[in-house]
Amino acid sequence: MVVSMLLMSCNGHYYTEKQSKALSVSTYAAKDSFDLGRMDLADPYLNQICDIVTPPSIRDRIKIEAIVVNNQKKLLVPARYKNQSVLVVGSDEYNALIKTKSFAKQLQNDNKNLENQVIQVNIQLENQTKVTNQMILDLAKKDKTIKSQLHELWLKNGIIAFLLLICGLKYLKFL
């Protein structure tokens, strides 16, 4: 009995670690992308994180507003990017760099990693859906079992009360 309880608790811990793997991988991929100035990768990884995590309520969500100067949105980056140039995806410079073998290969590897992580996140979301559905089914089954047991308890208590009533009446008759 004790061994089975220990095994069940270990399985729950293992499940939790497996469940959070996709979230952990996407979180650190987004952080690493941001730290290395790869905003083109940080954005999709952050979107994956948002797919996995339950969003906060509107009341709890931190409000972020864009910086607008002269009716034009400004992109703010941390000071550590000060001496780096900006390469906009789809620009002429970007399109010229795609033609170079090393840059194209790096983008191909990055996209392959991103696609693999998208698959892992989708698997995680499917697993979460299955687990949620199973929890709902288990709760419904437990609710039905509890109602059945409660009904049985009421019947038994009714029978006991009826027997006590009969015994009480017989006792009063003998007095």
Domain assignment present for residue 168? The answer is no
Domain assignment present for residue 173? The answer is no
Give residue-wise pLDDT tens across range 41-70: 999 999 989 888 888 899 998 888 888 999
Only one residue has tokens 């931190």, namely: 62
Phi/psi for 129 (5° steps) reads -65, -45
Domain assignment present for residue 156? The answer is no
Domain assignment present for residue 159? The answer is no
The whole domain housing 39 covers 2-56+65-144
Rounded CA-CA distance 19/23 in Å is 8
Domain assignment present for residue 150? The answer is no
pLDDT above 70 coverage of the chain, percent: 89
Query: Where residue 19 falls among pLDDT bands split at 50, 70, 90?
Result: low
Rounded CA-CA distance 50/24 in Å is 12
Domain assignment present for residue 157? The answer is no
Phi/psi for 68 (5° steps) reads -120, 125
Give residue-wise pLDDT tens across range 125-168: 888 888 888 888 888 899 899 999 999 999 999 999 999 999 98
Domain assignment present for residue 107? The answer is yes
Query: Where residue 75 falls among pLDDT bands split at 50, 70, 90?
Result: confident
Number of domains present in the structure of the chain = 1
What number of other Cβ atoms are within 10 A of residue 92's Cβ? 8
CA distance readout (Å), 134 to 34, 129, 131, 138, 155: 37, 8, 5, 6, 31
Given a contact cutoff of 8 angstroms between Cβ atoms, the answer to whether 104 and 111 are in contact is: no
Q: Name the residue type at position 131.
A: V
Domain assignment present for residue 172? The answer is no
**Partners of 69 in the beta sheet?**
72
